[in-house]
Every structure is written in C-alpha cells, then in structure tokens.
Amino acid sequence: MKNKFLDKRNIAFREKQRQQSLQSRVHVRKKAEEKLIEVKPFNGVGCIEPVDLSAYRYLTYLIGDVIHPNKNLEKPVSCLMVNMLLGLGTNVFEPGKYYSSQERKYTKEQLRVFRDSLSALEINFGKDKISGNTGRFERKDSYHFSDVGEFVFSELWKGEGRYDIVYVRNPSWMVFDKDYVRMNMGDIAEEKYKEEVDRLRKLAYDLEEGGFEYVAKKIGLKIEEMKKDEEEFFKEFCRKCRQYLDENKDIDETLKGDLEKFIEIGDIILKIGQNIDEEAKKVSDEKTIVTGMSQNIGDNGVLILESSKVKDIEGLRLVDSYDDVRLYQRI
C-alpha cells in the first residue's frame, strides 16, 4: 500500500522543480531579450533640449563614471549626454527608471562610444592655469592663454576647427585696450612678421650715413617738432621724404639711397602696425572673443560658456543655464 504522505511530498517536490525550471527559463529568456540591446555608432549631435537632470539621477551617475567632467561642468555635459542617449530610440532610458545590470552595462558602453567619438575644444583664459575639463574625450584639444599676443595670433581665429563641444572659460580676462594689446605683442608679432622684421634690420644696416637726424637735417626737417606717436611719426616722416624726392631730382645719390631706405622702413612699420591693429580688434570686447571662438563649433555642436557676461551669440541658441555656466547649440 502506497504511503499517501510520501506521494504528497513527491508531488510537492516535482511541482517545486517545475516552478524552478519555469523561473530559470524566464530568467534565460529575459537575459536573451536584454542582450538584444545593441550599442550604436556615433552619428553626430542631434537637437539638444533642456533636461530635468533630477529625473535621470542614475544616468548622470553613469555619465560621471564614464565621462568624468569637472564638477562645474557636470550639468551641461550631462544635459548633452542624456539628450544623446534619449535620441538613440532604444526605449531604455526613462525618467526615474531603475536600470538592470545589463542596461547599466549597455549604457556605459554607449557612453564610451560617445566619449571616444565626440571632439572637444577647451579654451581657458587667465593668469592661473585652471583645468576646465569637459571630460575624458579622446579627441580633445586644450588651450590656456595668459598672453594676449599668443591668443590673438593663434590659429583658433580661423574657425577651421569643427568640434562637437567648444568650452570657453573667463573670456573677459582677455579684453584689453588697443595700446595694451600692441604693447604685449612684441615677441609674437616679431615672429609672425619675421620677413618684414628681417628686411627692416637689413635696411637699417645698409644706411650710408644712418640716423633720422642726418636725413632730417639734409632735407630741412625738425624731428623734435614732429608728432611723438610712432605710427604718426613714420607717416609724417615718409611723407616728407617722398615730398623731398619729388621736389629735388638732382640730389646726392647717397642721400637719395638713404631717403628711399627710410621710406621703405616707414612703410613696413606702418604695415605691421596696421596688421596688429586689425588683430587687436578681435579682443576689443568680450562678445567678439566668444563669437570668434564659437566659429570652431561644427554642425549641431554645442558651446559651454563659463564666467561670461555674454548671453546672445550669433548663430547659437541658448539651451539652458546652470549658475555661472550656459549651454548653447549651433542653429
């Protein structure tokens, strides 16, 4: 006779095994479904909109873990990254959602694709070299400027860079008046206009008698009465030298040669001065600096602007503000 108690235990045991088997199959099926999430390649920056980052706290945690922006840039960088994740169309990212281990792994891998693909340009101004790190982007160029000449004669003004992210910090530090700019461009200007400077030195060396006083005396000029401003001085001196040559055809060849050399010296100095004045206009105000640097932003790229009074920037729209930092996108 069968033991009813043992039969019941056997039935319960078999039922437990069946439930465990079902749960195992469900777990395996879920795992298989989760593995279907594929990391997508970088396909440019889409339209960026303001984001309630408090609704994506775990995402911002993962962004910090992978991208590592500086604390002051966490919010604008997170806004950009959350927008890019939402733009993938994977239906994974939702406000307030708890992410499974597979979803977290996928999110990190996707963020690494962004980190390794996005290009970034960082520009810091000021005496102290402060790291303005937008993140550990593989394709990143960083500049620190505490010298006006070095900045004005840099390649950044050409706007040939096409970066996805451009970060500009403290541009007001680089705003100076024209005299200060010219005074601080000496060595840089000499290198930029090396051919003209070498020609000046040769002309000065080749003068027969030498000196403005000698030439001025010969042509009847009183140097002490001429204007003290360097540019105005050379303008007036060259004008007088040309006038003397036009009015006196039969003059000593040595004097004629010196006059011609002085005229060329004056023309070169005036040319360099005019070029420096044009360069100085680039730092005439803070907005000019920001606008100039923003020319390096590529299609749909963003500008992260810190410690600046500039608000409206041509060709860009404001996405959001975070205390002393603002996020813009190219229109």
Q: Of the ranges 54-63, 107-116, 280-289, which one carries the lowest mean pLDDT score?
A: 280-289
Residues 6+ apart with CB under 8 A from 140: 119, 120, 121, 122, 134
* Closest to 266 (Cα-Cα) out of 247, 240, 245: 240
Residue 32 has pLDDT above 50, yes or no: no
Residue 77 has pLDDT above 90, yes or no: yes
Report strand pairing: 139-145 vs 316-322.
unpaired
CA 205, CA 307: separation in Å to the nearest integer? 50
Residue 186's pLDDT is 66
Distance of CA 99 to the CA centre of its chain: 35
Provide the mean pLDDT of the chain: 86
Q: How confident is the model at residue 30 (pLDDT cuts 50, 70, 90)?
A: low
Q: How confident is the model at residue 17 (pLDDT cuts 50, 70, 90)?
A: low
Residues 262 and 238: beta-carbon distance below 8 Å: yes
Q: What share of the chain is helix, strand, coil (3-state, %, to 5)?
A: 55, 15, 30
Q: What is the pLDDT of residues 269-302, one digit of tens each?
A: 888 888 888 888 888 899 999 999 999 999 999 9
Q: How confident is the model at residue 35 (pLDDT cuts 50, 70, 90)?
A: low
Residues 6+ apart with CB under 8 A from 219: 240, 241, 244, 259
- The average pLDDT across 187-196 equals 78
Percent of the chain beyond pLDDT 90?
A: 49
Residue scoring higher pLDDT (56 or 183): 56
- The average pLDDT across 41-59 equals 95
* Lookup: tokens for 247: 């009015």
List C-alpha distances in Å: 18 to 10, 30, 84: 12, 18, 44
* 3-class SS of residue 263: helix
